[in-house]
Amino acid sequence: MSVNSFADELRARSDEAIAALFQVRPDLLSPVPTDLSALSARANSTPSLMRALESLNKFQLEVLTAICILNEPFSKAELLSITTADAGDELLRLWAAALVYKDGSKFRLPGNLRHLIGDEPAGLGPQSQKKIDFKSLKDIPTDSAAVLERLTWGPPRGQVVNIKSPGKAIGWLLENNYLMVMDSRTVVLPREVGMNLRGGKVLKEFTPFANKFIGTKRKQGDVDRAAIANISNFLRWCEELAHNWSDEPPIALRSGGIGIRDLKRSAHHLGVDENTLAFVAEILYLGGLIVVDTDDQILPTNSFDIWMSRSLEERWSSLVALWFETSRVSGLVGKSGEKNIAALGPELDRAGIASMRKVTLNILAQNLEQDPDIKNLQEIIAWQMPQRFNAEYIEWTLREAEWLGLTGQGALSEFGRALLNEEENLGVENALPKPVDHILIQADNSAIAPGPLTVELSNMIGTIADIESRGGASVYRFSESSIRRGLDHGQTGEQIKDFLKKTSKTPVPQPLEYLINDVAKRHGRLRVGSATSYLRCEDEGLITQILYDKKIEHLQFRKLAPQVLVCDFEAGDVINTLREAGYLPAGENMNGILISAPAIRRAKSRPRPPRVISEVQAPNEIVIKAAVRTLRTGEKASSHKPREVPRTTANETLDLLHQYIEEQASLTIGYADTNGGVSNRLIDPISISLGTLIARDHATGEMASFRIPRITGVSPAK
């Protein structure tokens, strides 16, 4: 009986079977193969087979491993004899994925697949070249039996000191062909012996099903309330971090990413740990809301302002969608290998993490109102995707889903379920508390925000006060440094007081007014400019105090005039050092005008989200149908063996073309390209216009134009 090739077997499959193949192995579609021979070559290529193996569950891998034990062609009955009854259904699924193909009533493996499974599948050695009499096992010495017991379940190889004098135990096994010699120091258990010792089964036990889900029962109402609080926190973190980096942008490391010091400072400002801060920064980076600018400062972009103008639900869903698709793993930040991994750095990409996120959330969607047991969930996912499984990634996925509000108290929220189902209305907008437009100033120079503030109010209060505690009601604290920050942003003392009087439902306490007046009066008395830098002040007493102040003597000020000091440090460093020492300097330009920092600092660079290691998505039905049609067309075209198309004159060419157009018959033309090469094209002629033939090209299935002067000959298609 002749052996069918892989390509021949694919040709015999129906259009529905080819479409199913594209559904489970979408990488075969890009680009669409020209014909079924090209499809078989791609399906048998090592990269495509590796992707296909990554998509298999644990039981499918076990069945495929067992197949590698059998001699080809093998039957379904032979497979069932060494596995379990459930393997029959998986054999059909493996056939649908072209990981096995039919040869008559039996099956074969694509050529490259055995190499990927390995030379010792399931820990079984090579086949023996000698006949083995298993009856002698009843007389096996005890020491020899112990050797076989150690090698039975793999690995099948063992080491000896010298193969010429292996000892009694090994010697008996070699004499009876229960071991084979591989080299001067290595022996191996033959496959037949291993299968006999295993009782004819490839594995001790097969796992046709994943473990049953285990979780703690939650009430959906409690889950959703916890989730909406998480969503509110996440959106607030995004806003606060972008605003904070607008005021105090961190400097990117030379190797890329954020330094540990800036990460800790920003985390302290938000009141979160470094892991949470790294996650929020990564999400903003993915969305193009922050960018590393040309001067290496990490700043918000104009896209952040556009994002802020959207509804809360749109803001949330746009960022969560990025999290589902990204290949970047923020949980790796801070992990030490050869070097520390930095947030926003280039070392965070990991292939397969997006699939793992979706699998994790889908399991939660199938078990609503259940907070999963982490070990049990890891076992389930390890069964579903054993080639890509990473236990830490599951922990990080659950942690990040909770931060995002996809889950609450560990269980999937209604908002997460609606997002997974691609519903139009996610319910986030109605569930979030409405923004408030007022604050309550207290006598101790603090202010309470009784809910989430409006964007304008949040921006202003964040400039002139420091957030002290967060939650349903946030507490802000006014201090000398926070008021100075507002003055640096171009506000005056009077403007700050007017703002507080308008927005506070309680009177502005007198101590706070005194604080604002005092800071405003002192702000800018010292003027720092670039000489390298200079410092000037009309108060000569203050100049003298600074000149002899031990806390800032490292600046090495030199007196240039009664009211002017100069030093060799940059103006920005001088301002920061003086502020740390308790002074309140302000910068000025070359004309002596006070420099107020802009209220909004944005990156000059366009958003540059990081690259994402994309995963091949399942194509839609329209794309699959078009691909199958193209394959069949290409197959039809390639079935016509290339032959010399007889040359025809221009008049003969036109007459024949008109004839075939009237008969609506296919024909073969010789067509010259721009380099003078002639190729045969199988076409269906449709019309002639302005010296051009319009026809459907069988190779592509699409309409094409052929210049008549380039047609070297015409003949009927046979």
Q: Please state which of the ranges 297-311, 474-488, 599-613 shows the lowest mean pLDDT.
A: 599-613
With contact defined as beta carbons under 8 Å apart, do 417 and 368 qualify? Answer: yes
Helix 15-24 crosses helix 621-639 at what angle (to 10 degrees)? Answer: 120
pLDDT digits (tens, 9 = 90+) for 61-116: 999 999 999 988 999 999 999 999 999 999 999 999 999 999 888 999 998 898 89
Separation in Å, CA 595 to CA 405, 528, 591, 637: 42, 10, 10, 74
Q: Percentage of the chain with pLDDT > 70? A: 95
Q: How many angstroms separate the Cα of 325 from the Cα of each of 246, 328, 394?
A: 27, 9, 16
Looking at residue 270, what is its pLDDT?
A: 87
pLDDT-derived band at 643 (thresholds 50, 70, 90) equals low
Task: Give residue 595's pLDDT.
Answer: 67
Element (H, E) at 56: none
Average pLDDT over residues 135-164: 88
What is the average per-residue pLDDT within 204-222? 94
Rounded CA-CA distance 294/297 in Å is 7
- What are all long-range contacts of 71-77, with beta carbons under 8 Å and residues at least 24 apart? 72/103, 72/106, 72/107, 72/108, 72/109, 73/3, 73/103, 73/104, 73/106, 73/107, 73/108, 74/106, 74/107, 74/108, 75/105, 75/106, 75/107, 76/107
pLDDT band (50, 70, 90) for residue 534: confident
- 361-258-360 Cα angle (round to 5): 5
**Residue-level pLDDT at 637:** 61
d(CA 110, CA 101): 7
Per-residue HEC secondary structure of 223-286 comes to HHHHHHHHHHHHHHHHHHHHHHHHHCCCEECCCCCECHHHHHHHHHHHCCCHHHHHHHHHHHHH
3-state secondary structure 307-363: HHCCCHHHHHHHHHHHHHHCCECHHHCCCECCCECCCCCCCCECCCHHHHHHHHHHH
Query: Candidates 3.30.2290.10, 2.60.40.10, 2.30.30.100, 3.30.70.890; correct CATH number of 642-716?
Result: 2.30.30.100
The pLDDT value given to residue 1: 42
Both tokens assigned to 434: 């409405």
Q: What is the pLDDT of residue 530?
A: 60
Handedness of CA 94, 99, 103, 108 (dihedral sign): negative
Architecture of domain 6-123: Orthogonal Bundle (1.10)
pLDDT value at residue 2 = 47
Mean pLDDT of the chain: 87
Class of CATH domain 134-197: mainly alpha
Give the model confidence (pLDDT) of 564-614 as tens digits. Answer: 898 888 887 888 888 888 888 888 877 777 766 555 677 777 777 777 776
Cα 642 to Cα 400, 637, 668: the distances in Å are 59, 10, 10
**Strand, coil or helix: 587:** strand
Identity at 309, one-letter amino acid code: S
pLDDT tens digits for 487-525? 887 788 888 889 898 998 899 898 888 888 888 888 877
Chain mean position to CA 241: 23
Locate 582 and state its tokens.
Answer: 């308790």
Cα separation, 58 vs 64, in Å, equals 10
Q: Which letter, b or e, does each residue of 374-391 get, where b requires 16 or more Cβ atoms within 10 Å of its Cβ? A: eeebbbbbbbbbbebbbe
Contact 301, 603 (CB under 8 A): yes
Q: Where are the alpha helices (DSSP H) in 467-570?
A: 480-488, 493-503, 510-522, 540-547
- H or E element that contains 566: strand 564-567
Amino acid at 226: A
pTM for the model stands at 0.75
What gap in Å lies between CA 351 and CA 388, rounded to an integer?
9
pLDDT > 90 fraction of the chain, expressed in percent and rounded: 36
Residue type present at position 176: N
Least confident of 267-276, 536-545, 635-644: 635-644
Q: How many angstroms separate the CA atoms of 577 and 597, rounded?
A: 18
Residue 301 CA: distances (Å) to CA of 243, 330, 463, 547: 11, 21, 19, 41
How far apart (Å, rounded) are the C-alpha atoms in residues 562 and 560? 7
Least confident stretch, 5-19, 467-481, 555-569? 467-481
